[in-house]
Amino acid sequence: MDAPKEIFLKDYKSPDYYFDTVDLRFSLGEEKTIVASKITVFPRVEGSSAPLVLDGVDLKLISIKVDGKELKEGDYHLDLRHLILPSPPQGKFTLEIDTEIQPQNNTSLEGLYKSSGNFCTQCEAEGFRKITFYQDRPDIMAKYTCRIEADKLLYPVLLSNGNLIEQGTLEGGKHYAVWEDPFKKPCYLFALVAGQLESRDDTFVTRSGRKVALRIWTPAQDVPKTAHAMYSLKAAMKWDEDVFGLEYDLDLFNVVAVPDFNMGAMENKSLNIFNSKLVLASPETASDADYAAILGVIGHEYFHNWTGNRVTCRDWFQLSLKEGLTVFRDQEFSSDMGSRTVKRIADVSKLRNYQFPQDAGPMAHPVRPHSYIKMDNFYTVTVYEKGAEVVRMYKTLLGTQGFRKGMDLYFKRHDGQAVTCEDFFAAMKDANGADFANFLLWYSQAGTPVVKVTSSYNAEAHTFSLKFSQEVPPTPGQPVKEPMFIPVAVGLLDSSGKDMPLSSVYHDGTLQSVASNNQPVLSTVLRVTKKEEEFVFCDIFERPIPSLLRGYSAPIRLESDLSDSDLFFLLAHDSDEFNRWESGQVLARKLMLSLVADFQQSKPLTLNPKFVQGLKSILCDPSLDKEFIAKAITLPGEGEIMDMMEVADPDAVYAVRTFIRKELASQLKSEFLSTVENNRSSEEYVFDHTNMARRALKNTALAYLGSLEDSEMTELALHEYKTATNMTDQFAALSAISQKPGKTHDDVLADFYTKWQHNYLVVNKWFALQAMSNIPGNVENVRKLLNHPAFDLRNPNKVYSLIGGFCGSPVNFHAKDGSGYKFLGEIVLQLDKLNPQVASRMVSAFSRWRRFDESRQTLAKQQLETIMSANGLSENVFEIASKSLA
Ligand code: PHE
Ligand code: ZN
């Protein structure tokens, strides 16, 4: 293996050659597959004599022709990763290359591979080079045709991008289909599927009256489980027209579900390929969370048609250009389909639990990374989720209409192009004549800014001052940071809990009006741009309680001087529902951290009665949305708390969280009981906000009750388990029971498996639940499950459920004896031989090893070192492991 090479954004160069048309012919076979490609090539600069360098990995070259003339050895160079033509003809020419590949042996699941007997592709980011020699980079945009030839019985369905223009039967039991995609595209959006599939068909009529055929393809027995995906697709198509004026641009839209897939789904032009977990759902087999994920991801991939496909990325450093924007769009879509506040809470929790730790660790990178070894490693929560927050800030600053103007200009300028994050920024700015100060730093500086706020009221002057100071912590390669542009949405509550009218703010030596149409506003966005800065609200006639960073207007850590009683007040009264939740979380975080300190000093733990009272009033407030209540009474996760500690102490955090949960359960037992009683499901499962909210609240209450050492409560959970009529309730009851070891635990888990053994998606839930268990010594059980007949290391979903689930357990993954680390270390090396992308995701669980005590550090480091010293390590795992050790 060559030494892994780091690739830098600053080294970007335009390609020397462009491709105009690409004709692909696939002959799919059991032993081998032949790929014939015919490309028309032209130089970027006329008369150029630069070599043409094509990427190619794991390919067997059969022949190569230039303008119809076969090249001999010596006319070209071939190495492990490239095919180079040292002196191609001047001007336009055609290049024909035949290659042989073996999809049946491809366990990496990138390029062309087989899943359950069917052929399918995954080309993003750099998988196309495993199919044929090509300039595998997104700024090469070409028009494709694709002819697929295969056995007719084994592969009755043949799909690729665009429109079907020809099909027919051939000798020897074969048939073929020819697809033509009228839109230019980068090769990462190419797709091919061939296999035994059936479809659910529907149509969507666009707002300009065009009829689009929609087809969702799965194995025949799963077609009934695609109704929700189809509903989601149609809703997404309509939403994009309504909100962004964006219409679908072809007459056919295909979605294919495959069981073996590294990621969630892929937006290939008009042929989205999905992990079947994000397509298949029925009330009996999928939970509300699954239904919501399907809605969001079907939306996400569909929205990519404009933000990603019509306008794509110049290079992979720009990934957030399409992903941050498209995540933002799918978040907004889900908000509009359900509850905006609850969706925002879920998204912010995800950011805090996953992105903040990444931003504070050895893999920290900006939304637009400066370098990478393997691009696959940069499909991260930073690029996706923090990237979406960056897009959200444009909208916060510009308003809905201003943001829309920016989007319109972006498409007007760049349709059909491969562009950069600056191009998006410029469209937003130019469309609005906006002053965005140093906003671009959000793309280049890594690390979560810490913003401190202190407030003071001047009763004589009737002014209220907010003083901000900000600090961006150092991250690898970026020791010193500049202050960022942080939009802080603020409202001020009066003593009755109402928003005070805001008219003007004194800032930077001038008095600025914040009124809108001469009317005072109830909330305003402060533009914090300096290291230290003061904003003074005028005409404030009583001491207010500030509601800061409303709706979480910037992806920062906010440290305010609000007292507990201020926070309880906000929890009870803030008109910004997100901040009501947030106040409760701030209180819970403070409480948990102080109990962790008590635990570490072996002091007895006691729960502040005010906290219990605060949660009780939320739990019993009939005016509140039930899903909001469920979120508000849920404590911050262990990861979030560990992330806030000097030295993360998983045992203490777990003990404290468990203590608070049990304490709440016993003190609020009757409230939780009546919550369960009053929110049982009706017979029929409905996926809508009201019903989901009811289930969420009931199941949150049940989980609390299940934590009690109380056989009556175990009976209750068992009863819920037995009477459940949908997976949401059934699985929630199972989870409640499985918190405690014992016979009921064992019996119910066995019963669940027996019931669902023929549904692999449900079996994965069963794996995950057991893997995540905090019952001490669970590593042995997980090791046993590795040998369970339903487990398979080659299937990413199974790995994510069992291994990924295990890494989420503070008790067992971080077990003091190192047994959890050792287990993961072994698995990573096994996985790396099969599927480097999946291995790399798993090894990431080690990346924050320095956050723990010395003895854990030593144990985790040993595992990383063992991994690093393994022969033939993939670049994927090399990058994560070496950066973790650096
Ligand atoms: N582009 C996909 C998305 O919608 C993610 C993906 C990346 C899928 C790489 C497969 C491989 O976010
Ligand atoms: Zn995406």
User: From the CA of 249, how far away is ligand 1's center (Å)?
Assistant: 21
Note if 332 is an active site residue: no
CB 324 within 8 A of CB 379: no
pLDDT tens for each residue of 340-356: 999 999 999 999 999 99
Nearest CA to ligand 1 atom 8: 266
* pLDDT score recorded for residue 2: 63
Nearest CA to ligand 1 atom 11: 124
Helices (H), 647-759: 650-667, 669-678, 689-706, 711-723, 727-737, 743-756
Nearest CA to ligand 1 atom 2: 266
Burial of 831 (0-12, 13-18, 19+ CB in 10 A): buried
Measured from the Cα of 308, ligand 1's closest atom is: 1
Sort residue 52 into left (φ over 0), alpha (ψ -120 to 50) or beta: beta
**Interacting residues of 532 by C-beta distance below 8 A, sequence separation 6+:** 467, 468, 469, 470
Residue with tokens 């202050």: 483
CA 862 vs CA 647, 764, 868, 870: distances in Å: 19, 30, 10, 13
User: From the CA of 548, how far away is ligand 1's center (Å)?
Assistant: 35
Measured from the Cα of 127, ligand 1's closest atom is: 11
Quote the CA–CA distance of 703 and 751 in Å, as a whole number.
20
Provide the angle, in degrees to the nearest 10, between the axes of the packed helices 669-678 and 689-706: 140
Measured from the Cα of 261, ligand 1's closest atom is: 10
User: From the CA of 365, how far away is ligand 1's center (Å)?
Assistant: 19
* pLDDT score recorded for residue 253: 98
115, 128, 379, 382: residue to mutate for ligand 1 pocket, most atoms within 8 A of CB: 379
pLDDT, mean of each 10-residue run, the chain (886 residues): 87 98 99 99 94 98 98 96 97 98 98 98 98 98 99 98 98 98 98 98 98 98 98 99 98 98 98 99 98 98 99 99 99 98 98 96 98 98 99 98 99 98 98 96 98 98 98 98 98 98 96 93 98 98 98 98 97 97 98 98 97 96 97 96 96 98 98 97 90 98 97 97 97 96 96 98 98 97 98 98 98 98 98 98 98 98 98 98 98
115, 124, 318, 326: residue to mutate for ligand 1 pocket, most atoms within 8 A of CB: 124
Q: Which long-range contacts (CB under 8 A, 24 or more apart) does 598-607 make?
A: 599/652, 599/655, 599/656, 600/649, 600/652, 605/656, 605/659, 607/659, 607/660, 607/663, 607/664, 607/667
What is the CA 872 to chain-centroid distance, rounded?
30
Q: Comparing C-alpha atoms, which of 336, 315, 390, 381 is closest to residue 354? A: 381
115, 129, 263, 329: residue to mutate for ligand 1 pocket, most atoms within 8 A of CB: 263
* pLDDT score recorded for residue 1: 54
Beta strands in 545-675 (DSSP E): 545-548, 557-560
* pLDDT score recorded for residue 353: 93
Nearest CA to ligand 1 atom 9: 124
CB 28 within 8 A of CB 334: no
CB 335 within 8 A of CB 358: no
Quote the CA–CA distance of 155 and 118 in Å, as a whole number.
7
Question: What b-and-e string marks burial along 369-388, b requiring 16 or more CB atoms within 10 Å of the CB?
Answer: bbebbbbbbbbbbbbbbbbb
User: From the CA of 115, how far away is ligand 1's center (Å)?
Assistant: 17
Which amino acids bring their CB within 6 angstroms of ligand 1? Answer: 122, 124-125, 263, 265-267, 300-301, 304, 323, 379
User: From the CA of 508, how far away is ligand 1's center (Å)?
Assistant: 44
**Interacting residues of 86 by C-beta distance below 8 A, sequence separation 6+:** 51, 76, 77
Nearest CA to ligand 1 atom 1: 266
Quote the CA–CA distance of 85 and 74 in Å, as a whole number.
10
Nearest CA to ligand 1 atom 6: 266
H-helix or E-strand spanning residue 159: strand 157-160
pLDDT tens for each residue of 105-116: 999 999 999 999
Which of 96, 124, 301, 879 is the catalytic position? 301
Please give the domain boundaries of the chain with CATH numbers for all domains: 7-196 (2.60.40.1730), 450-561 (2.60.40.1840), 562-741 (1.25.50.10), 758-885 (1.25.50.10)
* pLDDT score recorded for residue 681: 81
User: From the CA of 793, how far away is ligand 2's center (Å)?
Assistant: 25
3-state secondary structure of 453: strand
Q: Which ligand ends up closest to the CA of 261?
A: 1
3-state secondary structure of 181: strand
Quote the CA–CA distance of 336 and 347 in Å, as a whole number.
14
